[in-house]
Amino acid sequence: MKYNRVFGIVLDSVGTGAAPDADKFGDVGSDTLGHVGEFYEGNLDIPNLQKLGISNLRETPIEGVAAADKPLAYYGKMREISAGKDSMDGHWEMMGLPVEHALSLFPNGFPADLIDKLKDFSKRDVIVNKPYSGTDVIHDYGEEQMKTGALIVYTSGDSVLQIAAHEDIIPLEELYKICEYARSLVNEPPYVIGRIIARPYVGPDKDHFTRTANRRDFTLEPTGDTDLNRLQDAGYEVIGIGKINDIFSGHGISRGYHNESNHNGMEHVLETMGQDFNGLSFTNLVDFDAMYGHRRNPKGFGAALMEFDQQLGEVLAQLKDDDLLMLTADHGNDPGFRGTDHTRELVPVLAYSPSFKQTGESLGVRETFSDFGATILDNFGVNNVKGTSFLADLK
């Protein structure tokens, strides 16, 4: 075992340029980090990511973020081989379980038989039932939902069924129960949906509605063991921070933390750094995606990156010589691109430990996200089934 603790942090949706197969998804030209940098016109201040090598892994540095002369981290990119570009696909593949078969998509809304079952179970009507932006849908239909008590059901370009409801009209426990029932309907053909998402909101009217941190993802059960299971079975601790527990339906997670925000998630990372454990602390920071990527808000996206970078400085200062920090993303969600959906992009990978004896070098373009998990398993002497470890390259 080279490192006693590994801290893996997923910057949800922070892609770094169109993937080789982006044309299949209509995403040629997407570049989350590149377009955020362009929006800030050289004023994107991320010094800690910069010194790790965030611009070194790109053919063209992020505007205003020069490549480091002596990057602290080993740096590279990873490409996705999973059939989709959803968070579930990305995280499962990271942990050695690529999603090989496309999940169900509903560009024209959900079929009547599914909707009728939701109505019968919930004793509530269903409105909308089509692809929609999450913030727009509560603006346009939230007042109707409050008056009628109906469920706002909608989807996106991903394999998701989302149910929005005002917390004062449908209590959280009732909303979660309805989502759990929906989950039970779509686990096998003809409908296999990646995630059922509870989307509660609050506020007096359409101009003041806001989504709350009480979102919950009810994810398809992993279709096999993941690297999290393998670590746990080998006796190592796996700490899930943020929506990690939801994405893996609790499988392979020893204990977890719910995040209220990216900031709160990084506070949880710092908390686990103060704990004596042997294994993996695995974090998802969803605000980049949920609050800024889907809303096509490059200003907010960049501000979130800069806030993350400040807390990253605290993490770097607390790392021990036998700790390894690994940063990556699960897909892109380019706020400078058309539409409101995820973008098929390469994702960055940065690996750093204070014990490194030399300046970081390129890890190249990894052929699958599974290299991330394979490297973690290799560190702990656990056999992997997917991906190629780059542990030996970290010197």
* pLDDT tens sequence across 147-159: 999 999 999 988 9
> Which residue type occupies 233?
D
For residue 64, give both structure tokens: 């205003």
Distance CA 342, CA 333 (A): 4
Distance CA 369, CA 332 (A): 13
Topology of the domain covering 112-219: Alpha-Beta Plaits (3.30.70)
**pLDDT band at residue 265 under the 50/70/90 scheme:** very high
3-class SS of residue 75: strand
Residue 294, annotated as binding a ligand:
yes
Q: What is the DSSP string of 239-300?
A: EEESTHHHHTTTTT-SEEE--SSHHHHHHHHHHHHTS--SEEEEEEE-HIIIIIITTT-HHH
Average pLDDT over the chain reads 97
Asked whether 26 and 359 are in contact (CB, 8 A), the reply is no
How does pLDDT run across 290-341, given as a tens digit for each residue? 999 999 999 999 999 999 999 999 999 999 999 999 999 999 999 999 999 9
How far out from the chain centre does Cα 36 lie?
18
Tell me what pLDDT residue 140 has: 98
* Region class of 194: left (phi > 0), else alpha (psi between -120 and 50), else beta: alpha
How does pLDDT run across 22-80, given as a tens digit for each residue? 999 999 999 999 999 999 999 999 999 999 999 999 999 999 999 999 999 999 999 99
How does pLDDT run across 211-225, given as a tens digit for each residue? 999 999 999 999 999
Distance CA 57, CA 284 (A): 21
Residue 251, annotated as binding a ligand:
no
How does pLDDT run across 100-138, given as a tens digit for each residue? 988 999 999 999 999 999 999 999 999 999 999 999 999
The model's pTM: 0.90
Task: Report angle CA 343, 242, 252 to the nearest 5 degrees.
Answer: 100
Tell me what pLDDT residue 283 has: 98
Asked whether 365 and 373 are in contact (CB, 8 A), the reply is no
Residue-range domain boundaries for the chain: 5-100+222-393, 112-219
How does pLDDT run across 153-191, given as a tens digit for each residue? 999 988 999 999 999 999 999 999 999 999 999 999 999
- 383: pLDDT strictly greater than 90: yes
Residue 342, annotated as binding a ligand:
yes
Q: What is the DSSP string of 364-375?
A: EEES-THHHHHH
For residue 2, give both structure tokens: 């080279």
Asked whether 35 and 335 are in contact (CB, 8 A), the reply is yes
Distance CA 378, CA 81 (A): 21
Largest CA distance in the chain: 64
Residue 330, annotated as binding a ligand:
yes
Helix (H) or strand (E) holding 94: helix 87-94
Residue range 88-101: mean pLDDT, rounded? 96
CATH of 5-100+222-393, one of 1.10.1760.20, 3.30.160.20, 2.60.120.10, 3.40.720.10: 3.40.720.10
Asked whether 238 and 279 are in contact (CB, 8 A), the reply is yes
For residue 221, give both structure tokens: 């059960």
Residue 12, annotated as binding a ligand:
yes
